[in-house]
A and B are shown apart, each in its own frame.
Chain A
Amino acid sequence: MQTYDLEANGLRGLNAALQAQSTETNQTSWEVVNPKGSHAIAVGLDAPIEVTVKGSTGYYCAGMNQQAMVRVEGSAGPGVAENMMSGQVIVDGDASQYAGATGHGGLLVIKGNASSRCGISMKGIDIVVHGNIGHMSAFMAQAGNLVVCGDAGDALGDSLYEARLFVRGSVKSLGADCIEKDMRPEHLEILKDLLERAGSDAKPEEFKRYGSARQLYNFDIGNSAAY
C-alpha cells in the first residue's frame, strides 16, 4: 500500500505518480489522505491499480479514467469520472453535478445521491446510483446504462439518443423524446449484472425502463414545439 499525503505533497506529484504506473506495476494499491476537496484528484490514470481517497473530493475526481479502480470515501464534487473510458469509480457518499459526464466506458457507482445532469452526454459508461438523481440527468445521453435505485428529477433523458435508463422509484418528469419502454428479458439481465457489480440488493423487476422515442433524431420543423 502506497500512501500519499495530498496536502503535504501536492496534486502534481500525486497524478504524476499514479499516471506513471504501468500494466505490470506491483504498486497496485494506493491511498490518498488529506484530499480536503481538492480538484482533479487521480485524473488520467491508465493502469489496473486501486486508489482509495480518504475523504471528499472537488471537481473531476478520476476524470478520463482508464483501467483503474478509484474509490472516494466521502462525497465527490462536480464531474466525477467525467469522460471515463474504462475501470471503476465508486463514491461512498453523494456526487455533485455532471457525474459520469460524457463517459465512454467503465462503471461509476454512487452509493448516495447524485445531483443534476448525472450521465449527461454519456457515451457508453454504466452508472449506478443507489439513491436519487437530480434534474436533466442523461441529457443527450448517447450510449450506456444509467441505473437509479431511488427517484429521478425533472426532465429525465431529455433529447436522449441510445442510452438505457432504469429507474426504481418515481420520475418527476420525462424530457423531450424520452419515453417509458418495455422491460424485456435482456434488459433484466443487464440490470441484474449492474446491480450485482454495484453492490445493490435492489431487484431488477422493481425498475422501469426509459429510452428514446427516436422522434427527434432527424431535424423536422414539425417538431419545433418539442424544443
Chain B
Amino acid sequence: MKDMDDQIPRTLPIQSATFTNPINAEIRRAAATGIYDIRGGGAKRKVPHFDDLLFLGASVSRYPLEGYRERCDTSVTLGTRFAKKPIELDIPVTIAGMSFGALSGPAKEALGRGASAAGTSTTTGDGGMTPEERGHSSKLVYQYLPSRYGMNPNDLRKADAIEIVVGQGAKPGGGGMLLGQKISDRVADMRTLPKGIDQRSACRHPDWTGPDDLEIKILELREITGWQVPIYVKVGATRPYYDTALAVKAGADVVVMDGMQGGTAATQDVFIEHVGIPTLACIRPAVQALQDLGVHREVQLVISGGIRSGADVAKALALGADAVAIGTAALVALGDNDPKWESEYQKLGTTTGAYDDWHEGQDPAGITTQDPDLAARLDPVEAGRRLRNYLKVMTLEAQTIARACGHNHLHNLEPEDLCALTMEAAAMARVPLAGTSWYPGKEGF
C-alpha cells in the first residue's frame, strides 16, 4: 500500500500570488512590532511607466537629423509668465528638492556642484537654505514648505526661484518626519527645535488653505521678492488636470507635477505604495489643463517621479512637459546603493539596490545621514562630477532620440512621435498602441 502511495502524482506546493513571501514577511513584522513600516524612496511596485512607450523614429514621412553633426538644442527657460528674471537652463533636467537634514552637507554640496556644471538648477528642501548649497548652486530653487523650517526673507531673496510645495508624489496629502537620530546640532538650530527629537513636517500650510488663498500667498511672495523670480507650485500627482488648472489660476509661473515613483526621505510604506498616481498618468491631463487655459509653454510644466534616463526625459517632453526633475536618480549618481558598500548593507539587513532606510541615518554611502564619519565618505567634488556626467549622458540620450525623430530641439518632440506597448500605457499617455492608430478613450473604436 505504501509503495502505491509513493507512485501517486503529488500536487506541487503552490505559492500564493496574493500572500507572497514578502507580504507574509510584512504581516509577521507588523504582528511582532505593532508599527507600520517607514522607509525612504518612492513606489517600488510595478506601474505603467515610460518603459511602456516607444519612439517611432523617422520614416518616409519624417526625415531625421544627422547625429553628431546637426544641432539639437536642449535649453529651457522656466518662469516666463510673470517673473522679471526667468531661470534659463542649458538642459531640461533639474534636481528636485531634497533637504539638508535628510541629506548630508557634502551630498547637498555635490548636488549643487553637479547641477551647476551641467547648467541646470538644484532645489533646497525642508529645513531651509545652507550657505554651502547656495554657494555651490549657480541656480537654486528655494522650497516654501508647510513646516517653514528655516524660512526667512533674506534667503528668499537669494533664491533664483521659489517653489511652493503643496505635496509630493510619494505622499500626496502627507507630511513628513525627520527622526531624531538625524537631528544634529546644526539641523536642530536651522529648524528651531531641540536636538534629538523627531521633527514633524506638517501636511498642509499653516497660513493658507485652498486655491483662492494660494493666489494671495503667491502675491505676497512676489511682493516680498519684487516680482523678480519665478514661483513654482509643486503638487503630488493625484488630480493633475484640476491641480494644474488651479495652480495656473493662482498665478504660478511653473507647475511641478510629481508622480508616485518620486522619492521621499521617510514616509509610511503604505502611503508610498497606495496614494497617488504614476508619473506616466499625470502628464497628459496636466498638459491638457494648460492647453485648455491657453498657457501651454507660457506656464512651464516640470515632471518628476522615476526619471532615470535620456529616454525618460525625451518621453516626458514628447508628452508635453517643458522639463523634468530627478531626485532618486541623482542620489544614485552620487553613490547611493553602490555595490561597493554591499557588506555594510548586509549588516543593516538589506542589500545593494534595496537600501531605503534613509531616515535612520546609517547610510553606508554617506548621503542620507548626519553622522560626520559616514558623511565624510562622500567626496562632494568627485560625487558632483559623477552627477554632471550623468546629466550629460541623459541629455545626449534625449538628443539622440530627438534627432532620430527629426527634431532640432528637445521641445519639438511631440506625442505623435510615440506609441505604447500596453493598453494601460496607451490610455495614460494617450498615444496609440504600437501598430495601431487607437488608444483607449479615443473616439472611433
Chain A residues, CB < 8 A from B193? 142, 161-162
Task: State the Cβ distance, A178 to closest chain B Cβ, in Å.
Answer: 15
Task: State the Cβ distance, A59 to closest chain B Cβ, in Å.
Answer: 5
Chain A residues, CB < 8 A from B207? 60, 78-79, 82, 97-98, 101-102, 120
Are B216 and A60 in contact, CB atoms less than 8 angstroms apart?
A: yes
Q: Counting CB contacts under 8 A, is B148 at the interface?
A: yes
Q: Counting CB contacts under 8 A, is A213 at the interface?
A: no
Chain B residues, CB < 8 A from A63? 220, 224
Task: State the Cβ distance, A73 to closest chain B Cβ, in Å.
Answer: 21
Q: Counting CB contacts under 8 A, is B223 at the interface?
A: yes
Are A64 and B156 in contact, CB atoms less than 8 angstroms apart?
A: yes
- Distance of A139 Cα from B194 Cα, bound (Å): 17
Are B198 and A219 in contact, CB atoms less than 8 angstroms apart?
A: yes
Q: Counting CB contacts under 8 A, is B308 at the interface?
A: no
Task: State the Cβ distance, B84 to closest chain A Cβ, in Å.
Answer: 12
Q: Counting CB contacts under 8 A, is B22 at the interface?
A: no
- Distance of A218 Cα from B226 Cα, bound (Å): 41
| Main secondary structure on B side of the interface with A | loop
Looking across the interface, which residue of chain B has its beta carbon closest to that of A42?
A: B223
Are B180 and A218 in contact, CB atoms less than 8 angstroms apart?
A: yes
- Distance of A85 Cα from B148 Cα, bound (Å): 13
Q: Counting CB contacts under 8 A, is A111 at the interface?
A: no
Chain B residues, CB < 8 A from A140? 200, 202
Chain A residues, CB < 8 A from B208? 59, 78-79
Are B216 and A59 in contact, CB atoms less than 8 angstroms apart?
A: yes
Among B152, B179, B197, B226, which residue has its beta carbon within 8 angstroms of that of A85?
A: B152
Are B152 and A44 in contact, CB atoms less than 8 angstroms apart?
A: no
Among B147, B148, B223, B227, which residue has its beta carbon within 8 angstroms of that of A43?
A: B223
Q: Convert A63-91 into 0s and 1s, putting 1 for each residue whose CB lies closer than 8 angstroms to a CB of B.
A: 11010000000000011001101000000
Q: Counting CB contacts under 8 A, is B381 at the interface?
A: no
State whether A121 and B147 are in contact (beta carbons under 8 Å apart), knowing that A101-B207, A142-B192 are contacts in the complex: yes
Count residues of chain B with CB under 8 A from any CB of chain A: 34
Chain A residues, CB < 8 A from B192? 104, 123-124, 142-143
Are A104 and B197 in contact, CB atoms less than 8 angstroms apart?
A: no
Task: State the Cβ distance, A48 to closest chain B Cβ, in Å.
Answer: 16
Those of B226-263 within 8 Å (CB) of chain A: 226-227
Among A16, A104, A162, A217, which residue has its beta carbon within 8 angstroms of that of B152?
A: A104
Those of B136-151 within 8 Å (CB) of chain A: 147-148, 151
Are B206 and A217 in contact, CB atoms less than 8 angstroms apart?
A: no
- Distance of A130 Cα from B35 Cα, bound (Å): 44
- Distance of A201 Cα from B227 Cα, bound (Å): 43
B180, B191, B217: residue with the most chain A Cβ atoms closer than 10 Å: B217
Among B34, B153, B198, B206, which residue has its beta carbon within 8 angstroms of that of A120?
A: B206
Are B151 and A102 in contact, CB atoms less than 8 angstroms apart?
A: yes
Q: Counting CB contacts under 8 A, is A12 at the interface?
A: yes
State whether A12 and B223 are in contact (beta carbons under 8 Å apart), knowing that A60-B217, A140-B202, A162-B194 are contacts in the complex: yes
Q: Counting CB contacts under 8 A, is A168 at the interface?
A: no
Chain B residues, CB < 8 A from A120? 206-207
Chain A residues, CB < 8 A from B217? 59-60
Q: Counting CB contacts under 8 A, is A1 at the interface?
A: no
Chain A residues, CB < 8 A from B224? 15, 43-44, 63-64
Which B residues have a C-beta under 8 Å from some C-beta of A?
A: 33-35, 147-148, 151-153, 156, 177, 179-180, 191-194, 196-198, 200, 202, 206-208, 213, 216-217, 219-220, 223-227
**8 tightest Cβ-Cβ pairs between the two chains A and B:** A44-B224, A217-B197, A98-B207, A102-B148, A79-B207, A64-B153, A101-B207, A123-B192
Can you list 17 contacts pairing A with B, beta carbon distance less than 8 Å? A39-B220, A59-B208, A63-B220, A64-B153, A78-B208, A101-B206, A102-B206, A121-B202, A121-B206, A140-B200, A142-B191, A142-B192, A142-B193, A162-B193, A217-B180, A218-B180, A218-B196
